[in-house]
Structure formats: C-alpha cells, structure tokens
C-alpha cells in the first residue's frame, strides 16, 4: 500500500482465542484512496452496506468538506470502514467486534469527537462500549425488496416533485426528522431536500386536493438504490397513500436495479409491516448511539 495513501496510523495487537491479530487503524486523506482499499469489503455485502457504500461512491465524485475516512486493516485485508462527518456523525461497518473496538480506540486516541454512531447493531454497541460516553438512542431495520407484491392502489397520481413543492415538502421533511428523532438541522434538511428535487429523486403522491405524501430515492450502488423521506401529511394518513407511493417508487427502482432498500424504525411495527406487505424483507438491524450531553 503506497505510503502517500495514509494520513495517520495506529497499531493494535488483539488476542483473539489465543491468536494474536495485528490490526492497523488508518486514516485516509481522500475518498478515492479510501474506496480503493475498502471498496471490495463493502461490495461483498452490497445491500447491507448501501448507506456507507453509496455515500463513499458519491464522495469519490464530489468531495464534502470535513468528511474523514478511517479503516482497520490486518493481514487478510480491511476489517472495518467508516466515515466521520464534521458534525461528528460516524457511519461504520466492521467484520468483527475487535475491529470495531480498534476503530473506537483509534478515534479516541486521536482526539476525534464522535457525537453519533450509526452502524449494524453489534458494531455500534462495541464501538459505544469502547469509546465510552454514549447512550442507546434507537434501532432501525434495513429492509430489501427484489420482487414487489401486488396491492390495491390508493386514488391519486405519482409524480416528480419540483421546486414548486419545495415549501410544502420542507415542512414535511422537518416533521419527518422530528417524528423519527433524527438530529439533522433545519438547514441540513433543506439542503438534502433541495438536492433530491434538483436531482429528480424526490416524488409525491397527489390527489385532487393536492400532494398528500412524499418519498425520495437516492443512495445508488451497482445493484440497489435506497428509498427515504417517506412521509404522509397528518391530514391524509391511514388511507394507503404512503404505501402506494413506496410501491410505485420501488417499482421504478426495480426497473433499473436488482433491489430497493430502505430503513424503518424497528419500534414502529406499523411501518415494518407495511413494507413487508410490499415485498420487503429485513436484512439487518442497525443501532444509533449518541454522546451523552
């Protein structure tokens, strides 16, 4: 591995079942070199790693200020990969608990502030236990659909969102963030929504009374794309609009990709059941930990 690829490194010896594993925690200076190293690891489980893989693919084309890249390596290859934003949000995957703990120790030793960890459940829990100062905030299930199930659609039409919808959809997006207990700032929500609309990735379900539900589709990888921002106006709920919208959007994704994926609140059995009826299945459970205030 060329030394120019590496920004800083720390070496850890792990005694696993009396076998000494040498794990090297590495910071990479940019997305391209990081992807060259961890891309094969992420692609082995492309659907499960959609969030991190799609984010990294995007960053190789257009960098984002303040994002840092970390991997944990040993003899066979990368064992963990993560992105840390300048807001202190960490998205990570790890092949085992030792790699997750090595990553946590490295970030702590280098003085990197981590405010939120979002990762597969065991990876997130091990990181939080090792880094210390975190509390469990909630769980989400990552779901995948490769074959849609038929439904009786609600009345209305499926269409692209435009900037004419921006004010209404911004209010919905902020309500979505609040209901899901996310910590995106109003500006982050607005910027995300604007990007979805400009990239023709935001959609609405509209009846004769106007838009009643929204959803977005991004996070593309070779085999999948991720549906998000699923929200129904409070005045229009329990009429099947979100289900119909997600069904149509999933159909659109499946015309171009092998699968559609999405995250659902694990505690929201209604949402999980709705997606199951459409043909989604649970792939993996993710956990979020936040630093204690």
Write a three-state SS string for 226-288: EEEEEEECHHHCCCCHHHHHHHHHHHHHHCCCCEEEEEEECCCHHHHHHHHHHCCEEEEEEEE
What CATH number belongs to 144-286? 3.40.630.30
Class of residue 258 by CB neighbours under 10 A (exposed 0-12, middle 13-18, buried 19+)? middle
Identify the helix (H) or strand (E) that includes residue 25: strand 19-28
What is the rounded CA–CA span in Å between residue 94 and residue 81? 7
What is the rounded CA–CA span in Å between residue 147 and residue 247? 11
**Which position has the token pair 């995250």?**
263
Least confident of 15-19, 30-34, 41-45: 15-19
What is the per-residue pLDDT for 9? 56
What is the rounded CA–CA span in Å between residue 143 and residue 20? 36
What is the rounded CA–CA span in Å between residue 82 and residue 38? 9
Q: Are 39 and 67 in contact, with CB atoms under 8 Å apart?
A: no
Strand partners, 213: 205, 232
pTM of the model: 0.91
Tokens of 51: 């969030």
Q: Are 22 and 61 in contact, with CB atoms under 8 Å apart?
A: no
Which pLDDT band holds residue 3 (cuts at 50, 70, 90)?
Answer: very low
Residue 105 pLDDT greater than 70, yes or no: yes
Closest CA to 89 of 124, 42, 47, 37: 124
Q: What residue segments make up the domains of the chain, in order of their start?
A: 3-132, 144-286
Tokens of 61: 């084309």
- Helix 186-198 and helix 166-179: axis angle, to 10°? 130
What is the per-residue pLDDT for 175? 96
What is the per-residue pLDDT for 281? 98
Tokens of 104: 């946590």
Tell me the H-state helices in the chain. Answer: 31-44, 50-61, 97-109, 121-131, 166-179, 186-198, 241-254, 269-278
Q: Are 102 and 14 in contact, with CB atoms under 8 Å apart?
A: yes
Q: Are 34 and 69 in contact, with CB atoms under 8 Å apart?
A: yes
Q: Are 189 and 172 in contact, with CB atoms under 8 Å apart?
A: no
Q: Are 276 and 151 in contact, with CB atoms under 8 Å apart?
A: no
* Beta-strand pair 202-207/210-218: antiparallel
Residue 194 pLDDT greater than 50, yes or no: yes
What is the rounded CA–CA span in Å between residue 105 and residue 111? 10
- Over residues 1-8, mean pLDDT: 44
- Condensed to tens digits (0 to 9), the pLDDT of residues 239-293 reads 999 999 999 999 999 999 999 999 999 999 999 999 999 999 999 999 999 999 8
């Amino acid at each position: 591995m060329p030394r120019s690829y590496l920004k800083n490194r720390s070496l850890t010896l792990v005694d696993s079942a009396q076998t000494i594993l040498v794990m090297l925690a590495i910071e990479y200076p940019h997305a391209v070199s990081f992807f060259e190293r961890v891309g094969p690891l992420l692609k082995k489980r492309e659907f499960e790693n959609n969030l991190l893989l799609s984010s990294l693919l995007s960053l190789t084309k257009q960098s984002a200020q303040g994002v840092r890249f970390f991997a944990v390596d040993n003899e066979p290859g990368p064992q963990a990969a993560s992105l840390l934003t300048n807001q202190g949000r960490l998205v990570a995957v790890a092949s085992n608990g030792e790699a997750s703990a090595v990553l946590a120790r490295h970030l702590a030793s280098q003085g990197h502030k981590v405010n939120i960890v979002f990762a597969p459940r065991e990876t997130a829990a091990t990181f939080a236990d090792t880094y210390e100062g975190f509390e469990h905030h909630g769980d989400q299930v990552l779901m995948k659909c490769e074959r849609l199930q038929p439904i009786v659609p609600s009345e209305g039409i499926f269409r692209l969102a435009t900037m004419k919808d921006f004010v209404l959809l911004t209010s919905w997006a902020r309500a979505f963030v609040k209901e899901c207990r996310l910590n995106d700032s109003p500006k982050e929500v607005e910027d995300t929504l604007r990007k979805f609309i400009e990239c023709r990735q935001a959609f609405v379900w509209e009846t004769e009374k106007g838009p009643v539900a929204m959803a977005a589709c991004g996070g593309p990888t070779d085999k999948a794309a991720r549906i998000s921002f699923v929200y129904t106006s409070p005045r229009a709920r329990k009429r099947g609009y979100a289900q119909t919208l997600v069904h149509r959007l999933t159909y659109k994704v499946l015309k171009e990709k092998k699968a559609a994926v999405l995250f659902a609140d694990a505690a929201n059995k209604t949402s999980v059941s709705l997606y199951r009826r459409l043909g989604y299945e649970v792939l993996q459970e993710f956990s979020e930990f936040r630093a204690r205030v």
